[in-house]
Chain A
Amino acid sequence: MKRIVYREWRIQPERYWGLLAILGAVAGIAGLAVLFMEHEGHWVTGMTNEVVWGMPHVFAVFLIVAASGALNVASIGTVFGRTAYKPLGRLSGLLALALLIGGLLVLVLDLGRPERLIVAATTYNFRSIFAWNIYLYTGFVVIVVAYLWALADRKGGPYSKTVGYAAFVWRLLLTMGTGSIFGFIVARQAYDTAILPPMFIIMSFAYGLAVFILVLMFAYDQDKRPLGDVMLGKLKNLLGVFIAAVLLMTLMYHLTKLYGAKNLGVESFILVNGGIYTALFWVGWVLVGCLAPLGIVYHPVLGKDRNWIAAAAAMVILGGFAAVYVIIIGGQSFPLQMFPGSTILASGFHDGVNGVPASYVPSIPEILLGLGGVSVALIITAVGVRVLQFLPESLADPVVDPHLAT
């Protein structure tokens, strides 16, 4: 294999600053939205006492899940020894950091008392999965920074394998922790299953890789750097495998819930008569997020077309948002089953009277907050690749595949 030369992202300053200006504007508007929500209180959001976690949590969970997935590309190079993936390690680590920071920012800024973050950082209840996650997130940042150093610095070489293994284990734990936030909730029928943590891991593989592919294609296209078909072909095939795995986990999740009468209510809600959630499940999660991109990446013609590969990655991301939305919002919208076998005829607190699910309409400030998190993640990535040597100068076929070089 040729020696890989990494170079800063050298697009024209106007384009670079233009990109940052757009992203910065979105982040700035999101900041104003946060101030508005904090000043007024959560009544200006669509969140209620039924649907207590809303759009910010959808964005935050997606970004955090995608963050751990984005690190996979580096792990494939380091842990699984696939040399073709090694040049991508640095970008993979940077993207993982950026997405995690963006996601955490959204999560933290949606707190009822964000100014008390210091309390969350100093007072712990170690039975809380949230408290575990605080350690998992900070640990992830530390390990990924060390990993980036090991990958990029001459002196880091000997450590890259060890740190790479640590990062791989840690990212699995992190996604498991995120899945456990929902999986361990015994109260709610859509959650309360041990399949959620592994399902989140598989989802992270797909969503993180989809984000990685899009960022890589955009960065190389803008800088006119060669990105060969071999590299892209490997990535899109891998995406196909991950999507198929997501589909399998989705099937298992619903089969688990469908077997036995206990959860028939919530299953018919998500799969059959849940309105927007049923639509988002079938059209968003399954069709757009899995079946369509699966068809594209393995299609003999479309699977070789860059535009279609990019479209498939974008579809996986859209489907991912739909999936997280169905899990988080749909899972809360289905009323708590306090009296199984009975129907609630009247209630002073909206306990799903006559089985009617809780309504949730996201407000504009909430959506802006989520988009702000995405912007921050992209700003970190853009600045990172601009000022430091994250991107290989060439990912042309001979560079990636030594057999083609000779």
Chain B
Amino acid sequence: MTQEHDKVDGGRRSFIGAAAGLTAATVAPGLILHTVEAAPRSEAVTDKVRWGMLIDTAKCADGCSACVDACDKENGLDLQVKPHGASEAMWDRQRAVWIRKVQVQDNLTGRVTNLPMLCQHCERPPCVDVCPTGASFKRADGIVMVDRHTCIGCRYCMMACPYKARSFIHQVVEEKLTATPRGKGCVESCNLCVQRRDNGETSTACADACAAAGHHAILFGDLKDPNGALSKALASAASRQVREDLNLNTGVRYSSL
């Protein structure tokens, strides 16, 4: 169990993290998870969990956009309006996208793969390294996100992200949701439905929508829970990281890719 734990964690852990890991190894992990779930919203997030995903590209259907639509609705991205006077072509490149469908073909074999691309929630995120103010940060539970209160809109994180996961808000935002504040001049990206995490919910909007559409391609869960569905799925089938050469230890993994 401990080995399993370490494999996911990647071995870069502070003293406190190590202590927590030891505790996790000695005390039953289910018990710890239980306390996390028992007190949603009231306790600080800890590194006893690390949120992640396994995306089975074999199940990701061509032409389906359920995950994208659900994300847009969950985070108010469907409320984006093209600024008056902007061209369609420009707006298409300037509007914010948190998750998108990508279709990839292998140059040699011709095999075509469909997959959703989103923030990969790296353990060592380049966007966090480069941010001058620390607005781009990683929460204790592994979620990489932007603190819009300190983001100055320099876009260095967008330069540094290998996955093109981030969007810059190019226009005044008139319509936004209470649960997802967003406004002009800041950078944003997928935050694994952070409002749902803090409420102790079990899934993300995209994973729910994918399941509702009958595909079940997105499995969301805790990478550090050895008994969780995600860890079991990762242990049983081959999966990989996008741009694993960068050794970022992403929280989002892909199988059949």
Chains A and B touch (C-beta atoms under 8 A apart): yes
Please determine whether B107 and A341 come into contact, CB atoms closer than 8 angstroms. yes
Q: Encode contact with B along A44-65: 1 for CB under 8 Å, 0 otherwise.
A: 0001111011000000000000
Q: Kindly supply a per-residue 1/0 record for chain B positions 171-214, scoring 1 wherever the CB is within 8 Å of any chain A CB and 0 otherwise.
A: 11000000000001111000000000000000000000000000
Query: How many A-B residue pairs lie within 8 Å, measured between CB atoms?
Result: 181
The CA-CA distance from A128 to B155 in the complex, in Å, is 13
The reply to whether A187 and B104 form a contact with Cβ atoms under 8 Å apart is: no
The reply to whether A112 and B112 form a contact with Cβ atoms under 8 Å apart is no
B159-176 contacts to A (CB < 8 Å): 159-164, 166-172
Kindly specify which of B4-12, B19-27, B131-139, B217-225 makes contact with the partner chain. Answer: B131-139
The stretch among A35-43, A199-207, A233-241, A251-259 that forms the contact with chain B is A35-43
A127 is an interface residue with CB less than 8 A from chain B: yes
Contact B150 A41 (CB under 8 A): no
Q: Which of A3-61 contact B (CB under 8 A)?
A: 40-43, 47-50, 52-53
Query: Per a CB cutoff under 8 Å, which of A117, A338, A358 touches B162?
Result: A338
Are A342 and B107 in contact (CB-based, < 8 A)?
A: yes
B158 near A52: Cβ-Cβ < 8 Å: yes
A150 to chain B, nearest CB (A): 32
Those of A260-295 within 8 Å (CB) of chain B = none
A325-354 vs B, Cβ < 8 Å mask (1 yes, 0 no): 000000010001011011111111111000
Task: Tell me if B86 is interfacial: C-beta within 8 Å of chain A.
Answer: yes
User: Which residues of B are found within 8 Å of A341, using beta-carbon distances?
Assistant: 106-108
Stretch at the interface among B29-37, B46-54, B88-96, B229-237: B88-96
Q: Judge whether A187 and B132 touch: CB under 8 Å.
A: no
Quick one: given A112-B185, A113-B186, A349-B100, are A41 and B154 in contact (CB under 8 Å)?
Answer: no
Given known pairs A49-B167, A130-B132, A187-B161, the reply for A348 and B93 (CB within 8 Å) is no
Given contacts A41-B169, A41-B171, A186-B162, contact A343 B107 (CB under 8 A): yes
Expressed in whole angstroms, the minimum distance between the Cβ of B232 and any Cβ of chain A is 27
- Chain B residues with CB under 8 A of A47: 168, 170
Q: Which of B132, B162, B243 is A120 in contact with, Cβ under 8 Å?
A: B132
Q: B45 in the interface, Cβ–Cβ < 8 Å?
A: no
Within A142-191, the residues touching B (CB, 8 Å) are: 181, 185-188
Main DSSP-derived SS at the A contact region: loop
Q: Which residues of A contact B128 (CB under 8 A)?
A: 125, 127
B153 at the interface (CB under 8 A from A): yes
Contact residue among B94, B133, B154 (Cβ-Cβ distance under 8 Å from A112): B154
Chain B interface size range:
35 or more
- Is B216 interfacial (CB 8 A cutoff)? no
Chain B residues closer than 8 Å to A119, beta-carbon distance: 133, 150, 152
Contact A343 B104 (CB under 8 A): yes
Complex Cα–Cα for A124 and B130 (A): 11
In the complex, which residue of chain B has the Cβ closest to the Cβ of A127? Answer: B129
A219: CB under 8 A from chain B?
Answer: no
> Bound complex: CA of A238 vs CA of B162, how far in Å?
40
What residues on A are CB-neighbors of B150 within 8 Å?
116, 119, 123
User: Are B106 and A349 in contact, with the CB atoms below 8 A?
Assistant: no
Q: Is A48 in contact with B94, judged by CB distance below 8 angstroms? A: yes
- Give the distance in Å from the alpha carbon of A128 to the alpha carbon of B134 in the complex: 9
- Asked if B126 is at the interface (CB within 8 A of a chain A CB), the reply is yes
A215 close to chain B: CB less than 8 A:
no
Shortest B193–chain A CB gap in Å is 19
Provided the pairs A43-B171, A345-B104, A348-B102 are in contact, do residues A48 and B93 lie with their beta carbons within 8 angstroms? yes
Chain B nearest Cβ from A332, distance in angstroms:
7
Q: How far is the CB of A265 from chain B (nearest CB, A)?
A: 11
Asked if B151 is an interface residue, CB under 8 A from chain A, the answer is: yes
Q: Say whether A387 faces chain B, with CB atoms less than 8 Å apart.
A: no
| Residues in chain B near residue A129, CB distance under 8 A | 130
Interface string of B72-93 (1 = CB under 8 A from A): 0000000000010010001111
Contact partner of B90 (CB less than 8 A), chosen from A43, A186, A345, is: A43
**B window 104-154: CB within 8 A of A:** 104-108, 112, 117, 126, 128-134, 150-154
Given contacts A43-B86, A124-B133, are A53 and B171 in contact (CB under 8 A)? no
Q: Which residue of A lies closest to B100 (CB)?
A: A348
Verify if B97 is at the interface (C-beta below 8 Å from A).
yes
A125 B132 Cβ-Cβ under 8 A: yes
> Across the interface, do A348 and B108 meet the contact criterion of CB distance under 8 Å?
no
Across the interface, name the chain A residue whose C-beta is closest to B154: A111
Quick one: given A116-B152, A130-B156, A347-B102, are A123 and B133 in contact (CB under 8 Å)? yes
* A245 at the B interface (CB under 8 A): no
Q: Collect the chain B residues with CB atoms within 8 Å of residue A111's CB.
A: 152-154, 185
- Give chain A nearest CB distance to B207 CB in angstroms: 18
Q: How far is the CB of B95 from chain A (nearest CB, A)?
A: 8
Flag B40-65 by CB within 8 Å of A: 1 or 0 each: 00000000000000000000000001
Question: What's the least CB distance linking B132 to chain A, in Å?
Answer: 4
Q: A125 and B171: CB pair below 8 A?
A: no
Output the nearest chain A residue to B62 by Cβ-Cβ distance: A346
Nearest first, the 5 closest Cβ-Cβ pairs linking A and B are A112-B153, A112-B185, A348-B100, A130-B132, A187-B162
Interface residues of B (CB under 8 A from A): 65, 68, 83, 86, 90-94, 96-97, 100-108, 112, 117, 126, 128-134, 150-156, 158-164, 166-172, 184-187, 242-243, 246
21 A–B contacts from the bound complex (CB under 8 Å): A47-B170, A49-B167, A49-B168, A52-B155, A52-B168, A116-B152, A117-B152, A120-B154, A124-B132, A124-B134, A125-B131, A131-B133, A134-B132, A341-B106, A342-B105, A342-B106, A343-B107, A346-B102, A347-B117, A349-B117, A358-B93
Query: 11 extra interchain contacts, Cβ-Cβ under 8 A, other than A186-B162, A349-B117?
Result: A42-B185, A43-B83, A43-B91, A112-B153, A113-B185, A181-B156, A185-B130, A342-B105, A344-B104, A346-B103, A348-B102
